Structure 1
Amino acid sequence: MTRTGMHMIDTGFSFQGPAEGVHALSSWITPEDDLFLVTHMGFLNIDPDHWHLDVDGLVDTPTRFRLSDLQAMPQREYMSFHECAGSPLAPTVAQRRIGNVVWKGVPLSLVLERAKISTDASYVWTSGLEWGEYAEIEEAYQKDLPIEKALAEEVLLALEINGRPLTPERGGPVRLVVPGWYGTNSVKWVGSITAADRRASGAYTTRFYNDATASGMKPVWSVAPESVIVSPSPNDLLSAAMPTKIWGWAWGDHRISSVEVSVDGGGSWRTASVGPREGRSWQRFELPWTPTSGQNILLCRCTDEFGEEQPLTDARNAVHTVQVEVDP
């Protein structure tokens, strides 16, 4: 059911991102102009004066929050990478839609506490207000979080990104943000939150965004370790025997402990230096390099603190490859 003060714009699936792809991501904090935009059903424009959030289900005090209510509650800033999981219709194709931003908003836990969530709740369902069709499915965009993640301090009902109010294109006036998990879980244009004792049963938790594993289907939740080479790019002019450096970003739900770079198409690997992370930010890596003339095939791969590695192929976090031509 639609609400007063809302209308859809640019309906249908859409993607926007920098023409240079990851090679445009030269800043520690990603400017909004370089941060990808993906929608399943289109963009929703909401009059902030008409927006409200209903919290219900397994709560003692079902509560309606207006924008002014959230603005009056304690706010938190949190830096995190923000990554699209890619197409649920092609989950093994790496898309590398990524950025690093600072969110600000109200911890989801505070809203759940104010509604007095029951100890019987094991999941929290979050529903967006947009409507339309995606892959021949027409239903509300609804995702769920296990209660442990929903109550984690980093999970926010965000009102700002990089110090500015969320625009309608970014899911404003209020969206869910789940740092460390793929963007599909960070519901835009959030309109209702339901505490439940089971997983949500809609298409976006059952038909889409599940990966086949040896032990069965696994929800697309925690971000697997990934890295990309920002520089050099295929368009850079490099000269043989001229020292330069290979650098990029590495990230994952868990801290990245090591990054390796290959300059010979994967024949051999060198250990790069890896910088720290803040919150769940990405981490910068770099490696000094003196290129040789001709075509050079550069690759990077990372490992997180629990030993999980990037796969070479056939995964949304597959190893990134860059081909560069070096002048004699």
Structure 2
Amino acid sequence: MSDDKVRPYFTTRKLVPENQEAPIHFLRGSIFNKEFWFLRNHFQYPNVTAGSRNLYITGNVIQACMIKLEDLKKLPSRTITVPLICAGNQRGKFKPKVFGEQWEEGAVNQGVWTGVSLRYLLSYVVPNKNSTEVVFTGKDAGKKHNVEGVVPFERSLPIDKALHPDTIVAYEYNGESLPYKHGYPLRLVVPNWYGMASVKWLQMITVLDHSYEGPFQTDDYVYYPIPHSDEGKTPVTTIQVNSIIQQPLNYSIIEEASHEIVGLAWSGAGKITEVEVSFDEGKTWEQAVLRVDFENPYAWTEWRLVWNPPGKGNYKIKSRAKDVKGHVQPQEEYWNRKGYGYNAIFSIDVKVE
């Protein structure tokens, strides 16, 4: 087989429903092709029919409406570069262990999304002034533990976040129609929040004048800091500041020569301003070179650093990122029993021979 036929593959975390981890360590650039977009599902794939091309907006509004996909595409569009990061990314690293898909670093993706601002769509129905939340219902549904009957995947946003101009109802990814497995025909895209907020196969938007209490809002996607208690629980929302090392790989054997350490960093609070790398258990840190995409405010940051090992032996390489708001990756993870938001200092071990 020639070199141009060699390609990375997904890591399967579950088949039913399908959950596949992207080969993040072998992908470069700011935009990932749909071929390497990680798959995260709570239920089996829905049956998308002709009726699925209609979007319903209802609830605490002056006038409910239904918009056809072809009419939606005629409205003023908005294009944004946004990473989607699963709240459970790196769950497999929590100590003590937690239950759930044991994601490593590959439940992440970034691409260019095109759609219509939700704020523009809501202007058609005119939410009442006492509106507090907006609920988004996907077409995917199934059985959920401790919940009677069949439930859809459904999430809400505070009204202010829903009305942000860059919260969009997307119909294109990287200039093409959304792939079926990633939400065709319509998907909500919520910048700066973990991926659970970006509801796939979007079929209904409901404006509320009260708090939404659905199971994917008040049970899942909640930080529970105490093992057997709900005390101190808080909702999962903004993406934590984080960095990963893409190359070299963990526990790899490398030559005693110059090496380029490369990786990615991101934060839902704003741009990455600094990535530091340590080769001596965190005693000293070196500044990595950043490639910041200033034209796209939500895009992640690529970083790199040339390293010349001082000799043969075992080394621990660490990376930590800092964002514009001053948030820095912590030394230890914030443990929570469902395993969300892992963002401890990234660490790998290599052997130089």
| Alignment TM-score > 0.5, same fold | yes
Letter of the structure 1 residue corresponding to residue 80 of structure 2: Y
Tell me: CA distance 1:184–1:82, structure 2 relative to 1, closer, same or farther (3 Å): same
Task: Verify the 8 A CA contact 1:73 1:106 in the aligned structure 2.
Answer: yes
Alpha carbon RMSD of aligned pairs, Å? 2.5
C-alpha distance in structure 1 between counterparts of 2:36 and 2:182, whole Å:
13
Q: For residue 15 of structure 1, report the CA deviation from its aligned partner.
A: 1.0
Matching residue of 2:140: 130
Matching residue of 1:209: 221
Letter of the structure 2 residue corresponding to residue 288 of structure 1: V
Matching residue of 1:318: 344
Tell me: CA distance 1:136–1:181, structure 2 relative to 1, closer, same or farther (3 Å): same
Letter of the structure 2 residue corresponding to residue 295 of structure 1: N
Please, which moves more after superposition, 294-303 or 317-326?
Answer: 317-326
Letter of the structure 2 residue corresponding to residue 314 of structure 1: E
SS in 2 for 1:72: coil
Matched, 1:25 2:27: yes
Q: For residue 157 of structure 1, report the CA deviation from its aligned partner.
A: 0.6
Matching residue of 1:279: 297
Matched, 1:264 2:280: yes
Cα deviations across residues 87-112 of structure 1 (Å, max 9, x unaligned)? 89758977431121111111111111
Q: For residue 50 of structure 1, report the CA deviation from its aligned partner.
A: 4.3
Q: For residue 236 of structure 1, report the CA deviation from its aligned partner.
A: 6.1
Cα deviations across residues 207-232 of structure 1 (Å, max 9, x unaligned)? 11111469932211110101111122
Tell me: CA distance 1:208–1:252, structure 2 relative to 1, closer, same or farther (3 Å): same
Matched, 1:218 2:237: no
Cα deviations across residues 264-290 of structure 1 (Å, max 9, x unaligned)? 333332222222232301011222210
SS in 2 for 1:131: strand
Task: Verify the 8 A CA contact 2:274 2:321 in the aligned structure 1.
Answer: yes
Task: Verify the 8 A CA contact 2:263 2:304 in the aligned structure 1.
Answer: yes
**Which among 67, 75, 78 is matched to residue 76 of structure 1?**
78
Cα deviations across residues 9-47 of structure 1 (Å, max 9, x unaligned)? x984331123xx431221221122222110001222413
4+ runs deviating over 6 angstroms: 91-94
C-alpha distance in structure 1 between counterparts of 2:53 and 2:137, whole Å:
14
Matching residue of 2:64: 62
C-alpha distance in structure 1 between counterparts of 2:274 and 2:31, whole Å:
22
Please, which moves more after superposition, 127-136 or 159-168?
Answer: 127-136
Tell me: CA distance 1:134–1:320, structure 2 relative to 1, closer, same or farther (3 Å): farther
Q: For residue 303 of structure 1, report the CA deviation from its aligned partner.
A: 1.4
Tell me: CA distance 1:123–1:211, structure 2 relative to 1, closer, same or farther (3 Å): same
TM-score (norm: length of structure 1): 0.88
Q: How many residues align?
A: 315
What 5-or-longer segments of structure 1 have no aligned partner?
Answer: 1-9
Cα deviations across residues 140-177 of structure 1 (Å, max 9, x unaligned)? 21111111111111111110111111121001110111
C-alpha distance in structure 1 between counterparts of 2:254 and 2:265, whole Å:
24
Letter of the structure 2 residue corresponding to residue 22 of structure 1: I
Q: For residue 120 of structure 1, report the CA deviation from its aligned partner.
A: 1.4
C-alpha distance in structure 1 between counterparts of 2:225 and 2:128, whole Å:
32
Tell me: CA distance 1:135–1:264, structure 2 relative to 1, closer, same or farther (3 Å): farther
Cα deviations across residues 226-264 of structure 1 (Å, max 9, x unaligned)? 111112224866321x22221211001121121111123
SS in 1 for 2:35: helix
Task: Verify the 8 A CA contact 2:52 2:203 in the aligned structure 1.
Answer: no
Written as runs of structure 1 = structure 2, the 5 A alignment for 1:1-328 is 12-18=16-22, 21-48=23-50, 50-86=52-88, 90=99, 95-96=104-105, 97-135=107-145, 137=147, 138-212=150-224, 216-234=232-250, 238-240=254-256, 242-253=257-268, 254-277=270-293, 278-291=296-309, 292-315=311-334, 316-327=342-353
Letter of the structure 2 residue corresponding to residue 114 of structure 1: Y
Task: Verify the 8 A CA contact 2:21 2:103 in the aligned structure 1.
Answer: no
Tell me: CA distance 1:11–1:323, structure 2 relative to 1, closer, same or farther (3 Å): closer
TM-score (norm: length of structure 2): 0.82
Task: Verify the 8 A CA contact 2:251 2:349 in the aligned structure 1.
Answer: no
Task: Verify the 8 A CA contact 1:312 1:318 in the aligned structure 2.
Answer: yes
Counting aligned pairs with the same residue, the percent is 29
